[in-house]
Amino acid sequence: MKDTRFNKAIKDIKNISMTSAEKRMVFECVMKTTPIKSTWTVYSFGKWIQTHRSISALVFIVIVISAGNSAVLASRNTLPGDTLYPIKVNMVEPIRVAFAPTPRIKAEIQTELVQSRLQEAETLAARGQLNDGKEQSLNQRIDQQVSDLTANINEVKKTSPEKADDISTTLEASINAHTRILDVIAVNRGESHSNSKENGAINVDGAVTSAMVASSSMSESTQTSRTSLKLNKKSESKDESKNNKKYSKRKESVESLIQSTTADVAGATTTATSSLLQETIVNDARINLDHAQEKLQEAQNHNSNGNSSEAYSALIDSERATKEAALFIKATSRLEKEVKNEEINASSHGNNNVQGGQSGKVE
């Protein structure tokens, strides 16, 4: 049995609705309502963030890195001009330096970053992509990174002079080696530094000029400390014993480095198919190894004559030359691929031009 009145009531209820004016009035009333402050506000997460800004900033960075882990990994091998390059140099690298627990580790990371900038300059030069804008950007970053590194090396010297010397020789070797590599790349591409300056072309070693100046100042500081050591070497026999121990420990390290680098150079022997770039760099590595051996022998002679300061100085020179040779060998495998790709692209571009010219001929 149907109840018509009940059905009519339901239908009337469904048809009830507010007009547009009524809806607007209700919305305005709700928006004007002042929320009641909870007594637990002081314990809210937002309040905690405000009172722990340094910790919250750290948490935020970790969250960003975790959330964008793929982007961080993808930015690792980027170069100036690449989309993800700013992530690497403005976020990933500064975080690594900031979280370094000691000045020593921080200086090691900063040395690695300077090497990265120099390698980026090499890669861009090998590809023919080191334009003025990218060169200027690399210059500025190297300036700042070397300045920060110098300050940290001075801190490391206070607690570990030997480690400070190790970091300094690594930086100096990197600058010397990469400067030479950039020279070779320029020649390999048919460029010359004298011509580039006269014609206003890009000077491919401009990215390391400021770093060389900073490294030179560090070398002077190291030499000053060695001179001071020489003047005071007769003050106490205790100091002499300490210097001998310092020399012996570093001599073992340098000999081991020379041995491993010699093996690497032997493995990189050039062949008839080797490029001019590879031949030149491997030959430079051999020359540096010969120089390293000469300096090692010189150090041994000074040490036998009781000249500990001269012996240690020659040992440092031997270590620097060996590190340069090692960097040369690493650069051959890294840059050879870039050079070959550049040659393939140039050859392909030339063939396309020839084909285009032939297709345009009138039979």
The pLDDT assigned to 70 comes to 62
Distance, in Å, from the CA atom of 106 to the CA atom of 25, rounded to the nearest integer, reads 62
Q: Note the pTM of the prediction, 2 decimals.
A: 0.67
Query: How far, in whole angstroms, is CA 44 from its chain's centroid?
Result: 41
CB 26 within 8 A of CB 19: no
pLDDT tens digit at each of 363 positions of the chain: 456 766 666 666 666 666 676 666 756 665 555 555 554 444 454 555 455 555 555 555 565 555 455 666 777 888 998 888 988 888 888 888 988 899 999 999 999 999 999 999 999 998 888 888 998 899 899 988 998 999 889 999 999 988 999 999 999 999 999 989 988 888 877 765 444 443 333 343 444 444 444 444 444 444 544 444 444 444 545 566 667 788 888 999 999 999 999 999 988 876 766 778 888 899 999 999 999 999 999 999 999 998 888 999 999 999 999 999 999 999 887 887 776 666 555 555 555 554 555 545 444
What are the structure tokens assigned to 323, written together? Answer: 């590190």
- What pLDDT score does 210 carry? 46
233-260 b/e (C-beta count within 10 Å ≥ 16 → b): beeeeeeeeebeebbeebbeebeebbee
User: How far apart are the two ends of the chain, measured CA to CA in Å?
Assistant: 98
d(CA 97, CA 77): 18
Cβ–Cβ contacts within 10 Å for residue 144, how many?
13
Rounded to whole angstroms, the Cα distance separating 300 from 302 reads 5
Contacts of 117 (CB under 8 A, 6+ apart): 138, 141, 142, 145, 207
Q: Would you state the structure tokens that stand for residue 90, as one six-digit string?
A: 């403005």
Q: Which residues of 152-173 are buried (b: 16+ CB within 10 A; e: fewer)?
A: bbeebbeeeeebbbbbbbbbbb
